[in-house]
C-alpha cells in the first residue's frame, strides 16, 4: 500500500484527514535462534514486510485504533486506562504496553489519537508483526510528542510489553531488529550487553528467500515460555559450580564438562542448543566476513538441526521447508527462524536458481502438508520511521 491509499483508508475510518504515516518493518534472523533470552548473540535484519500506521491527534484522551487486517470495530480506550485487554481486543495490548511505559517517563503525552494500521506481512508468520507494532507505537509517540527517548530504550519497552502485557517471556531480538534495522545490513547483537555492530549482508550471487509456512493455529506461546523456563532451570543447576550469569557465557566444552550437574534430559538438550547456537552465530558472522559463504550455509543448516533435535521447536511444516530447500541446486543453507512451530524459514539461494527453487520447494510443501507456503524475496531495510 502506498501513502495515499493509507491516508484514504484513515479518512474512511475516522472521517477526518490523517496527519502522518509511519512504517515499521518485520525481521528475519540469519542465525542465532532462541539465544537472545539466554544472553547469547543474534544476527537479524529488518525487512520490507511490516506494518504501516496512519496517525491523527485528538483533543481528548481517547485512543481509537483500527486495524485493516483484523475483522472488527474500532478499539477504543482512554490513555489513562491501561488494563490488559482480552479476546478480540487482545491486539490493543501491544499499543497499551508502549503507551504505559512511555507515559511513566514522559508526562507530556497528555492527549489521545486515532491510528489506522495495516500490515503487508501475514500475522503469525514468525516475522515479528508484534514487535513491528510495538516499535510503530514507540516511534509514533516519540515523534509526535517530541520525546527524548532513544531507540534502544524503545526496544526494551517493547520487550517489557511482550512480557507483561502479552504474556510472552521473549528476549529483545525482534524489537531491536525492527527499530535498529539498517538497509542491506544485518545486526550482530550481543544480547547480554546490547553491544551491536552492523554487518553488510554480503551474499554475492545469492539472495535470502523467506518461506512462510502459513500454518493456521499454533500453541507457540506456551511452548516458548516452557523453553525459557527449561533454560533457566538448566542455568541454575550449572551455577552451583560455575560463576556465570547466562548460558551465552559458556562454550560447548565447558557445558559438556559440567553437564553432570543437569540431571534432566530435556534441560540438557535445551542448554546444549542455547550454547551451541551461540557458538554457531559467532562462527557464522566470521564466515560471512571472511567471504566463506559455504561455511555460513552449513552453520545455518546446523542451526535448524539443533532447533529440531535439541530445542524441539520445528514441526513438520518448518522441517519440510528446510529439508526440501537443502536438496535444491544453488542453495547454501536453510533453516526455520523466530520462535518456531509454524511461522517462517529462510533459505540462501543463488539468484539464478531462485524461481526454480520457489517452484520446487512449493510443490514438495503442498504435496506433503496439504496447503501452500508463501515465498518472498527478502529486502533488507531501515528500522521503524515516518514515511
Please tell me whether residue 114 binds ligand GLA under the rule CB under 6 A.
no
Q: Is 330 known to sit in a ligand binding site?
A: no
Gap between the Cα atoms of 190 and 313, Å rounded: 23
**Catalytic (active site) residue 310:** no
Nearer to ligand GLA, 36 or 249 (CB): 36
Please tell me whether residue 170 binds ligand GLA under the rule CB under 6 A.
yes
Decide: 155 and 101 in contact? Cβ < 8 Å: no
Among 6, 10, 36, 383, binds ligand GLA (CB under 6 A): 36
Nearer to ligand GLA, 174 or 207 (CB): 174
β-strand partners of 41: 190
Gap between the Cα atoms of 119 and 192, Å rounded: 31
Minimum Å gap between C-beta 38 and ligand GLA is 9
Please tell me whether residue 174 binds ligand GLA under the rule CB under 6 A.
yes
The stretch among 110-118, 142-150, 168-176, 303-311 that binds ligand GLA (CB under 6 A) is 168-176
Q: Is 35 known to sit in a ligand binding site?
A: yes
Q: Is 67 known to sit in a ligand binding site?
A: yes
**Cα pseudo-dihedral 377, 382, 385, 387, rounded to 10:** -60
Nearer to ligand GLA, 82 or 170 (CB): 170
Please tell me whether residue 34 binds ligand GLA under the rule CB under 6 A.
yes
Gap between the Cα atoms of 351 and 368, Å rounded: 26
Among 30, 31, 33, 272, binds ligand GLA (CB under 6 A): 33
Q: Is 325 known to sit in a ligand binding site?
A: no
Please tell me whether residue 248 binds ligand GLA under the rule CB under 6 A.
no
Please tell me whether residue 171 binds ligand GLA under the rule CB under 6 A.
yes
Marked catalytic residue, from 174, 184, 256, 310:
174
Burial 310-349 (b: 16+ CB within 10 A, else e): bbbbbbebbbbbbbbbbebebbbbbbbbbbbbbbbbbbbb
Minimum Å gap between C-beta 172 and ligand GLA is 7
Gap between the Cα atoms of 232 and 237, Å rounded: 9
Please tell me whether residue 134 binds ligand GLA under the rule CB under 6 A.
no
Decide: 200 and 368 in contact? Cβ < 8 Å: no
DSSP assignments along 166-199, one per residue: I-----SHHHHHHHH-BTTEEEEEETTT--EEEE
Q: Which of 204, 199, 172, 200 is nearest to 188 (CA)?
A: 199
The stretch among 111-119, 169-177, 359-367, 368-376 that binds ligand GLA (CB under 6 A) is 169-177
Q: Is 128 known to sit in a ligand binding site?
A: yes
Nearer to ligand GLA, 112 or 126 (CB): 126
The residues binding ligand GLA (CB under 6 A) are: 33-34, 36-37, 170-171, 173-174, 338-339
Catalytic residues: 174
Amino acid at each position: 500500500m502506498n501513502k495515499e491509499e493509507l491516508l484514504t483508508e484513515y479518512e474512511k475510518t475516522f472521517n477526518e484527514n490523517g496527519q502522518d504515516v509511519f512504517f515499521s518493518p518485520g525481521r528475519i534472523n540469519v542465525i542465532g535462534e532462541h539465544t537472545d533470552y539466554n544472553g547469547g548473540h543474534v544476527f537479524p535484519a529488518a525487512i520490507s514486510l511490516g506494518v504501516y500506521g496512519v496517525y491523527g491527534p485528538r483533543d481528548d484522551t481517547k485512543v481509537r485504533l483500527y486495524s485493516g487486517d483484523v475483522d472488527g470495530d474500532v478499539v477504543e480506550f482512554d490513555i489513562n486506562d491501561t488494563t490488559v485487554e482480552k479476546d478480540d481486543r487482545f491486539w490493543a495490548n501491544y499499543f497499551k504496553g508502549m503507551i504505559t511505559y512511555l507515559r511513566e517517563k514522559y508526562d507530556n503525552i497528555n492527549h489521545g489519537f486515532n491510528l489506522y494500521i495495516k500490515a503487508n506481512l501475514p500475522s503469525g508468520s514468525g516475522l515479528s508483526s508484534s514487535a513491528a507494532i510495538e516499535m510503530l507505537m514507540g516511534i509514533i509517540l516519540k515523534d509526535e510528542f517530541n520525546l527524548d527517548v532513544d531507540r534502544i530504550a524503545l526496544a526494551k519497552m517493547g520487550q517489557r510489553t511482550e512480557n507483561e502485557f502479552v504474556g510472552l517471556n521473549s528476549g529483545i531480538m525482534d524489537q531491536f531488529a525492527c527499530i535498529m534495522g539498517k538497509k542491506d545490513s544485518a545486526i550482530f547483537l550481543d544480547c547480554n550487553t546490547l553491544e551491536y555492530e552492523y554487518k553488510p549482508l554480503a551474499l554475492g550471487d545469492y539472495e535470502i528467500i523467506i518461506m512462510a509456512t502459513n500454518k493456521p493455529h499454533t500453541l507457540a506461546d506456551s511452548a516458548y515460555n516452557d523453553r525459557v523456563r527449561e533454560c533457566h532451570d538448566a542455568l541454575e543447576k550449572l551455577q552451583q559450580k560455575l560463576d556465570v550469569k547466562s548460558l551465552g557465557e559458556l562454550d560447548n566444552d565447558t557445558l559438556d564438562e559440567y553437564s553432570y550437574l543437569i540431571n534432566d534430559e530435556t534441560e540438557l538438550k535445551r542448554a546444549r542448543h542455547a550454547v551451541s547456537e551461540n557458538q554457531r552465530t559467532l562462527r557464522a558472522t566470521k564466515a560471512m566476513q571472511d567471504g566463506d559463504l559455504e561455511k555460513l550455509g552449513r552453520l545455518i543448516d546446523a542451526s535448524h538441526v539443533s532447533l529440531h533435535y535439541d530445542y524441539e521447536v520445528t514441526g513438520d511444516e518448518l522441517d519440510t521447508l528446510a529439508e526440501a530447500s537443502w536438496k535444491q541446486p544453488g542453495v547454501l543453507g536453510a533453516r526455520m527462524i523466530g520462535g518456531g512451530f509454524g511461522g517462517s524459514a529462510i533459505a540462501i539461494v543463488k539468484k539464478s536458481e531462485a524461481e526454480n527453487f520457489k517452484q520446487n520447494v512449493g510443490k514438495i510443501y503442498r504435496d506433503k502438508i496439504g496447503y501452500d507456503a508463501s515465498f518472498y524475496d527478502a529486502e533488507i531495510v531501515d528500522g521503524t520511521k515516518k514515511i
